[in-house]
Structures are given as structure tokens and as C-alpha cells.
Amino acid sequence: MIDGSLPPVLQVLAAAPVLSTQVLALLGSGAVGGLRQCHPLLAATVAAQPWGDASPRASQLREWRACFPVATRAAPSLAGLIALAAYPAAARCLAGVTVLDMQVVGPLPDLGGVVSHLPASLTSLLAYKCSGLGHTVRFDDLTALEVVDVSNTGVDDGVLHSLPPTVRVLAAANCYALTGDLSLAHLPDLVDLNLTNTPVTDGVLATVTRRLTSLQIAGCYTVSPDASLASFTCLNALNAGLLRASNAFVAGLPPSLRVLHLPRTALVSPVDFSHLTALCVLDVEGTRVGDAGIASLPATRQALTFSQQSGTSERVTFGHLPALRTLTAATTAFSRTTLDSLPASLTTLRAEVAILADPAPSLAHLPRLAVLVLCHTLIEDAVLPTLPAALTHLDIRYCGALSPAMSLRHLTALRELDCSATAFGDGTLATLPPTLTTLRAASATRLTPAASFSHLTALELLDVSRTGVGDAAVATLPPSLRTLHLNACAAITPTTTLAHLPRLRHAQLWLLEMSLATKMALTDAGVDVVA
């Protein structure tokens, strides 16, 4: 019988198996330590839960297994792995575990013996940056493995040769012990392969199954400039950044590609992408594709990233990309013609440090624009009234040509604004909508002690460091605020209090005249104070 003195939620957990499974899944295994000691039935309920969440790392695996006998995911701590290395047979207590997370940072002894004792039930081994994995590791007995991440470890060709044919996802990035003799022909079901920054060659790629859908070979300088991937007819995503790739490499890419990352490669303008008819996402930042390369993109393009180093001119246009939704064009020159050619489908425009031929262009033809980044540009106030009312994120920091008279009153959906180091002041602040949740206005030159934030009833993060706000302005901060940066605000006095901010959790209060008692009260209330 359940003890009636227990809180109702604990009675439910102990008596209703269906509900307890759902409630415990929401709590997570890291939050149930105290529950086990409340009642014997609760301990049994917790033990019966097939935990599969990212539980806190365990230093004592046997004790962890006793608490969670049917858990399917295990995450040993650094100390736990060191203990396993001393007694590898203890790994047998992980029988039934399907996911083993060994992603810990720190010096470890060789774990080859531990891996040989891991249970055959294992389907995922996550060992990113696990220093204990080296040439002694063998996976032959882990016959159910499907996902393996040994990136940033000391594994060599022999280790990967021991992988079972069931592996579908393999990440071995930054594994410098691999060589051009590596063969992956024994992995017929491989669909996702990450060999970033490894000395693999064309010969290695020739052994990879043509079922592959995702390939990452960025920084693999031993891949030849003219390597052809045309035979990978199922390939959907490719990251080949920093390669010595030639234009012939692009010509040899399969038309199945939907996502292509080619930043900072050795391509020479003009580059032709016209055969990649399914391409949706392209990143050629720092790669010289030229205006002709942009013009060759298929109409399916949804996201495009390029930069001043991409060899484009201020005459480049985008009217042939009616599906374009995201454009990232940092340090790029934009003519009025270029901006006017942007399609109405655009929802995100990132143009940091852009060189605008017209400092007051109109963006009224972009009704769906939700995210706009124009920081470090010379835009003027006249741009702001042309911004669509649907805008939710606006970044205009370091736009020195904006004046204190700028208004954002028509942006009724705005949620995040960064206007740091601008002439943003009390007047512009009064035009902000109540939908705003994040306001970054550090070093805003026109904020004064008379500023009022009371109308921003949804505000959660505010940074007004190095501004003129004072005690009166602080008193108007809404109770919704969770994060506050008030560093170096000279008008703040020792009488200032933040007691009216019940939800505050993080506060930066460097170089303030705020009283020690106020700071201590914040700490006592559970606020993370940096001062």
C-alpha cells in the first residue's frame, strides 16, 4: 500500500506505471536520485525505467547499474573510465546498454581492453576526444554497432578495419593516424561519413559504398584537385571546404547534391553549378566563384553563403533564385540593383560589414524577411521604415550613420534587437514593441537616466553596459527580466536595487557603485552575479 503521507505526485509515480514512465522521462535520470529513497516502491519504479537520456556521468558504473538496471544509455565519467581501464571486465555490467557515451576530456590510459569487454548490445559508441582510444582498440565483437564517433582520437587504419558491417554512421575527423591505405569496403551500409582533416586520398574514397548520402572531407589536402565524386549518386550533402579542389572537382559532383559546402577552396572564377539541379544550400565563402558562378545556380537554391573573397562584383543579382530564403554575404559590395534583385521569398539576410552603394536602400520588397543583420554598415535612418513588419530579429550594431531620431515603431513582431554602439537613445527605446525579449544596447550613446523600459513586458535579456542609464531607469525594468548586464554604468548609485526582478538569474555588474548588500541579496536569491 502507498503511504498517504507522500506528496500526490510521488503517489502517482509509485502506483501508476503508465503515468510514471511519462513523468520520469520528463524528469530525466539525473533528477531522480532523491526519489529512490522516498519509498521502496519508488525505488522499484525508478529501477524499471528504461533510461535512454544523457544521464549525469557515472564514476562508479556498478553502482549506477544497480540503480538503473534496464537503462539503455551509459555515460561514464573520466574517473569511471580510468577505473574501467584498471579492471576492464567491469564493463560487463553494461549488458543491455545500446548507447555508450565516452566523450570525456582528460588524460586516460589505453582503453583497448575495456572495448573488448563491451556488450554486444551496443549500437552507438560516442567517443569524441576520448584520449584512451588508440591503435589497440578493436570493434570486431560489437556486431550491432551502427553509429561510431571516434573523432579526435588516436585510432588508425586497423581500428576502422575492425568495425562491423552494420555501421551506418562513422565520424573519424582529425584522426591523424589514418593513412591513404585505409579501406572502408567492409562497410556496405555506410550512409554518413566524416573524415574531416585526415590524410585520406582518392583511393580511400574509392572504397566507400556508393550508398553514401553525407560526406565530410574538409581539410583533406591529400584528395586530388580533380577528384570525381560522380559515382556517389545518392550523395545529398558534401562538405569539402579548404580543399585544393579545381573546377573539374565541381564538374564531377553528382546532381543528387542538395547541400554543398565549399568555403575557402582553390576554385577559380567562373565556376559552373548548373548541373546540380537539386542544390538547395551552398556555402562558397572565400571561394572565387564570381558572378557567373552565382548566375549558374539552379532555381531550387534556398540558402547561399558567400563573401567579398568569392570574386563577385556589386553587379551580381539574385532574381533567378525565386526560392532563396537565406542569404549570407559578409564583407560584400551591394549595389542598388543587387538589393532590388533579392527575391520576395527571402526570410534571412546577413550582410555584416557590407559595402552599400546606397546608404538608404529600400527593403520593402522583402515582405517575409524575419532576420536582418546589417551590423558594421553605413545604413541611414531612411532604411528602417522600409523594413517589413514581420521582422523578428534585427542587428544594427556599430551602424554609426543612424541618428537618435530613428524609430522602430512599425516592427510590431520584433523579438531581438542589437543596437550596440549606435545613437540609440530614450526616444528610440520608447518606439520598441512589447514583443521584444532581447535588447542589446551596450555603448548606446543616447540612453540617459530618464530611459524607461516599463513597456517591454516580455523582456528577458537586457545589456545596457557603458550607457547613461541610472537608478530611475533600473526601477522601470520589467519583472520578466532573466539576464541583465549593467557594467560600467556611471549613473548607477549605491541606492539602486534589483529586488523588483523576481525572475532574474544572471547579472553582470562590473564597475558599478551598487552596494554590496544589493549584490549579496541577489546571490542569496540564487542569481549568478558577476561583479
Write the pLDDT tens digit of every residue in 460-486.
999 999 999 999 999 999 999 999 999
Q: Give the pLDDT confidence score for residue 26 in this predicted structure.
A: 56
Q: Give the pLDDT confidence score for residue 83 in this predicted structure.
A: 87
Neighbours of 525 (CB within 10 A): 14
Torsion of CA 131, 132, 134, 136, to 10 degrees: 180
pLDDT digits (tens, 9 = 90+) for 393-435: 999 999 999 999 999 999 999 999 999 999 999 999 999 999 9
Residue linked to cell 538503473: 68
State yes or no: pLDDT of 67 exceeds 80: no
Neighbours of 513 (CB within 10 A): 12
State yes or no: pLDDT of 2 exceeds 60: no
What does the buried/exposed string (b/e) look like for 83-93 if buried means 16 or more CB atoms within 10 Å of the residue's CB?
A: bbbeebebbeb
Q: How far is CA 353 from CA 32, 312, 334, 401, 442, in A?
A: 50, 15, 11, 13, 19
According to DSSP, residue 432 is labeled S
State yes or no: pLDDT of 135 exceeds 90: yes
| Residue 167 and residue 145 in contact, taking contact as beta carbons nearer than 8 Å | yes
- Res. 528 pLDDT band, cuts 50 70 90: very high
- Res. 66 pLDDT band, cuts 50 70 90: confident
Percent of the chain with pLDDT over 90: 76
State yes or no: pLDDT of 36 exceeds 90: no
Q: Rounded distance, CA 74 to CA 114, Å? A: 14
Q: Give the pLDDT confidence score for residue 470 in this predicted structure.
A: 96
Q: Give the pLDDT confidence score for residue 54 in this predicted structure.
A: 46
Q: Give the pLDDT confidence score for residue 17 in this predicted structure.
A: 59
Q: Give the pLDDT confidence score for residue 89 in this predicted structure.
A: 85
Q: Of the given ranges (44-58, 83-97, 255-269, 321-335), which has the lowest mean pLDDT?
A: 44-58
pLDDT digits (tens, 9 = 90+) for 364-381: 999 999 999 999 999 999
- The average confidence (pLDDT) of the chain is 90
Q: Give the pLDDT confidence score for residue 70 in this predicted structure.
A: 82
Q: Rounded distance, CA 50 to CA 67, Å? A: 11
Most confident range (mean pLDDT) of 31-35, 114-118, 297-301, 506-510 is 506-510
Long-range contacts of 378-387 (CB under 8 A, 24+ apart): 381/405, 381/406, 383/359, 384/408, 385/410, 386/361, 386/362, 387/363, 387/411
Q: Give the pLDDT confidence score for residue 326 in this predicted structure.
A: 97
- Res. 1 pLDDT band, cuts 50 70 90: very low
Q: Which residue has the higher pLDDT, 59 or 519?
A: 519
Q: What is the mean pLDDT of residues 345-368?
A: 94
- Res. 3 pLDDT band, cuts 50 70 90: low
Percent of the chain with pLDDT over 70: 89
Q: Give the pLDDT confidence score for residue 65 in this predicted structure.
A: 80
DSSP characters over 87-119: SGGGGGGGTT--EEE----S-----HHHHHTS-
Amino acid identity of 181? Answer: D
Q: Rounded distance, CA 25 to CA 335, Å? A: 54
